[in-house]
Amino acid sequence: MENTKKRILSGIQPSGDLHLGNYLGPLRHWPEMIEEFDCYFFMADLHTITVRQEPAALRKRTLTQIAQYIACGLDPEKCVLFVQSHVPAHSQLGWVLDCYTMFGELSRMTQFKDKSAKNADNINAGLFTYPALMAADILLYQADLVPVGDDQRQHVEICRDIAARFNGIYGDVFKVPEPYIAKVGARIKGLSAPEAKMSKSVPEGCVFLMEKPEDIMRKFKRAVTDSDTVNPVRYAPEEKPGVSNLIQIYAATTGKTYEDAEAEFAGKGYGDFKKTVGEAVVELLRPIREETERLLSDKAYLETVYRSGAERAASVANRTLGKVYKKVGLLSR
Ligand code: TYM
Taking the CA of residue 26 as reference, the ligand 1 atom at the shortest distance is 22
Confidence (pLDDT) at 231: 82
Question: How remote is the CA of residue 300 from the centroid of ligand 1, in Å?
Answer: 28
Separation of alpha carbons 34 and 290, rounded Å = 22
If one looks up domain 203-293 in CATH, what number appears? 1.10.240.10
Fold of 7-186+298-328: Rossmann fold (3.40.50)
User: Does 11 contact ligand 1 (Cβ within 6 A)?
Assistant: yes
Question: How remote is the CA of residue 326 from the centroid of ligand 1, in Å?
Answer: 32
Q: Which residues are catalytic?
A: 115, 197, 200
Question: How remote is the CA of residue 97 from the centroid of ligand 1, in Å?
Answer: 20
Residue ranges, comma separated, of all CATH 3.40.50.620 domains in the chain are: 7-186+298-328
Question: How remote is the CA of residue 102 from the centroid of ligand 1, in Å?
Answer: 23
Residues 283, 284, 287: CA angle, nearest 5 degrees: 80
Residue ranges, comma separated, of all CATH 1.10.240.10 domains in the chain are: 203-293
* Cα–Cα distances in angstroms (integers) from residue 71 to residues 31, 216, 288, 293, in the given order: 10, 19, 5, 9
What are the 10-residue block averages of pLDDT along the chain, 333 residues in total? 84 96 96 97 98 97 98 98 98 98 97 92 96 98 97 97 98 98 93 96 96 98 92 93 97 96 93 97 98 98 98 98 98 91
Taking the CA of residue 198 as reference, the ligand 1 atom at the shortest distance is 15
H helix runs in 37-81, sequence order: 45-48, 55-71
Confidence (pLDDT) at 148: 96
The pTM assigned to this predicted structure is 0.96
User: Does 310 contact ligand 1 (Cβ within 6 A)?
Assistant: no
User: Does 147 contact ligand 1 (Cβ within 6 A)?
Assistant: no
For 313, other C-beta atoms within 10 Å of its C-beta total 26
Confidence (pLDDT) at 4: 86
User: Does 22 contact ligand 1 (Cβ within 6 A)?
Assistant: yes
